Amino acid sequence: MDVLNGNLIREGKEPFAFDHDCREGICGSCSMFINGEAHGPGRNVTTCQLHMRSFKDGETIHVEPWRSAAFPVIKDLSVDRSSFDRIIQSGGYVSVNTSGETIDANAIPIPKHDADEAFDSATCIGCGACVATCKNSSAMLFVAAKVSQLSLLPQGKPESKERVTRMVDQMDLEGFGNCTNTGACEVECPKGISITNIARMNRAFLSSNLTSK
């Protein structure tokens, strides 16, 4: 994209708008469809980590913005993903005592299995590939990863029931579709987030609704 825009600028033409920031596969900004696949033909990589050697010499590369009504196009390849921000604002946090007597997180023993699963969920960078590649434009993998990374740890358990309800409700308000277990989201996720997180979130959501009535 930089080479293309450089050529356009030299020709006196307007360059294409696209999002980018870290260029290290961390921020999730460089999200785009490349040859019909989220982030291109590579697996477990973001667009900025995709090498040109992934394509054949002389191959035509088709680039498109994310396809989802919940991610409206701002311009060219740049889309508005603020719907993700509003989902996080609805419950993607923990309430912590910051009075000056906060207990060190390392003082709370956590089973390694739980810590590993929480860490794997926390690798989600919120790029939106799961939404863009899903035939229903579902954000279930994103929301499930954020719910899991908090609910698996002791610090996130006190608010776990309210969190999953608020975040799922906000996801529905944003206009995302539902999950039909196709599994395309896991395949296209640059961080390999597992759909087992969706199953965990569904159980938590059902439990929250049953016990709150």
* Residue-level pLDDT at 151: 92
* Phi, psi (deg, nearest 5) at residue 67: -105, 95
* Residue-level pLDDT at 53: 86
Q: How far apart are CA 106 and CA 81, in angstroms?
A: 34
Number of helices followed by number of strands (H, E) in the chain:
8, 5
Confidence bin at 155 (pLDDT 50/70/90): confident
Q: What does the chain come to in residues?
A: 213
Q: Is the pLDDT of residue 203 over 80?
A: yes
Closest alpha carbon to 200 in 162, 159, 154, 143: 143
* Residue-level pLDDT at 31: 87
Q: In Å, how far are 39, 40, 57, 59, 135 from 36, measured between CA atoms?
A: 9, 7, 18, 14, 13
Give the chain's domains with CATH numbers: 17-94+109-211 (1.10.1060.10)
The vertex-40 CA angle with 146 and 192, nearest 5°, equals 30
* % of the chain surpassing 70 pLDDT: 97
* Residue-level pLDDT at 210: 87
* Phi, psi (deg, nearest 5) at residue 167: -70, -40
Of 23 and 146, the one with more pLDDT: 146
Q: Is the pLDDT of residue 1 over 90?
A: no
Model pLDDT for residues 96-126, shown as the tens digit of each residue: 776 677 777 778 888 999 999 999 999 999 9
What is the rounded average pLDDT of the residues 84-99?
87
Q: Is the pLDDT of residue 9 over 80?
A: yes
Confidence bin at 33 (pLDDT 50/70/90): very high
Q: Is the pLDDT of residue 213 over 70?
A: no
Q: How far apart are CA 208 and CA 206, in angstroms?
A: 5
